[in-house]
Structure 1
Amino acid sequence: MKRALILAVGVLGLGGVAQAVPGGQLMVLPKGGWTCEIPGDAAVTPVAKPELSFETIADSSYVAPDGSRGSYLRLADRLTLTSGVFSGRRFLMDGEEILRELGTDDTPTGLRCVHAGPLSLTV
């Protein structure tokens, strides 16, 4: 009886153990517009890429400039657009407001997308 009770408690305890997600913690992006561009510097003006920009919405989804929808997966500081017109695009998060696009070999492509979400103008 005592052995069965210990086994039952042990099995029930396993249900509450959180398992690590391979690749990092599952997260979402802030909702709102993401404006993509090739960044500039003191001597070069940034080059806007509106055709690569998107808006994040509820349920880990995005809306492309043509109005079509897709989904994304964010694991810690890595973002992958998993369906829709931008399926396969991958990014590295630079804080919570900047995405830096990665090529197939994990090197930066030079494109960044900046969150243009709601502004708080409280005084």
Structure 2
Amino acid sequence: MIRALALSALLALSAAVPVVAAGPIGTIERGHYACELPGETAGVVALAQPEESFEIAGASRYRSPQGNGTYLRRGDRVIMSSGPRNGSQYEVISETLLRRIDNGQPGRLRCYWRGR
């Protein structure tokens, strides 16, 4: 009986704890990341989103048009951990391409490394 209650309490607590990206801690390539939305097949290939673009400055810091902050990379996830984009998440598609996570799913916004 006590074991069942303890297990039940543990399961309830684990359901309340948010899922955090797992994997080794790392960084992403320093430099400018230009962000865009996909365009239309019959028209513009991509729609630039300069207000979503950012620069990785080093030491896990980013700069954006809205201000500066820090980020954490865990495995294939980049999480903006402070500053104006606190809580924003991106999936690492390749070393030069990120995709923003919206509502737990890969979104349409993609950000690619443009160089230093």
**Aligned residues, how many?**
95
Partner of 2:108: 110
Structure 1 residue 44 displacement after superposition: 3.7
State the Cα RMSD in Å: 1.5
Instruction: Give the corresponding residue for 2:8.
Output: none
Instruction: Mark the CA change 1:69 to 1:92 in structure 2 (over 3 Å): closer, same or farther.
Output: same
1:62 aligns with 2:62: yes
Counterpart of 2:5?
none
Query: Structure 1 counterpart of 2:113, which letter?
Result: H
Distance 1:96 1:41, change over 3 A: farther
Separation in 1 of the partners of 2:83 and 2:102?
A: 18
Q: Which structure is higher in strand share?
A: 2
Give the deviation of 1:41 after TM superposition.
5.6
- Structure 2 regions of 5+ residues with no counterpart? 1-20
- Partner Cα separation in structure 2 for residue 25 and residue 78 of structure 1: 10
Which amino acid letter does the alignment assign opposite residue 80 of structure 1? Answer: I
3-state SS in 2 of match to 1:86: coil
Within 1, Cα distance between the matches of 2:43 and 2:37? 10
Aligned to 1:24: 23
- TM-score, normalized by length of structure 1? 0.71
Q: Which residue of 2 aligns with 1:87?
A: 86
Q: 2:38 matched to which residue of 1?
A: 39
Give the 3 Å change call, closer, same or farther, for CA 115–47 of structure 1 in structure 2.
same
Structure with larger Rg: 1
TM normalised by structure 2 equals 0.76
Superposed CA deviations along residues 10-59 of structure 1, whole A, max 9, x for unmatched, are xxxxxxxxxxxx71011101000000000236424211110010000111
